[in-house]
Structure 1
């Protein structure tokens, strides 16, 4: 019985790992498209990487780090689900658009390009 559970655990672990690898290969990030999404949907509150709603939470890398939003995944989650004064963009933007804008925001922050 123990061997059976070990086999199942191994099988599902390999399945999870392989599905992530396939997903990672299929995703192509387009920073130009992300910039366009940002200009059309985010710039009203986040022009120049600022935050009009909460000035302490800018899109600078230091502020993203302090607010635990210093990864593409964290930014995707924030854009998708919203929080506090930020609206939910799930259903308004496609997953591809959210991924592109999150990569654009992170790239701008990482390169200090705001």
Structure 2
């Protein structure tokens, strides 16, 4: 009887930990909530749903970020932050409009959305 109780307890504990970690991975953290608001106000006109209305192949989807962003393979967030701050090609630089914390928040939001597939 004791062995059944221990097995049941371990099973419940394992399922609880697995569920909690999977839920927390999908929760928007405060910086991502702020990033979503900033994205909506500044980026969504061109990048609604992770797309790109100016250059259709240069989306914010994972494959495009990997292909087009400088140094994305080395540091995802730093590469996105650099792009937001400095712009490149048709994308304007937002370094003069957004502060570093806002840029970091948007980058965190974009990276999370890209990983989820928008």
**TM-score, normalised on structure 2?**
0.69
Q: Which runs of structure 1 show a deviation greater than 6 angstroms over 4 or more consecutive aligned residues?
A: none
Higher-Rg member (1/2): 2
Give the whole-Å Cα distance in 2 for the aligned partners of 1:32 and 1:55.
26
- Counterparts of 1:1-114 in structure 2 under 5 Å? 30-68=31-69, 70=72, 71-112=76-117, 114=118
Residues 29, 103 of structure 1: 8 Å contact kept: no
Aligned residue pairs, count: 86
Q: How big is the alpha-carbon RMSD for the aligned residues of Structure 1 and Structure 2?
A: 1.5
**Structure 1 residues without counterparts, runs of 5 or longer:** 1-27
Give the whole-Å Cα distance in 2 for the aligned partners of 1:68 and 1:43.
19
Give the whole-Å Cα distance in 2 for the aligned partners of 1:66 and 1:59.
11
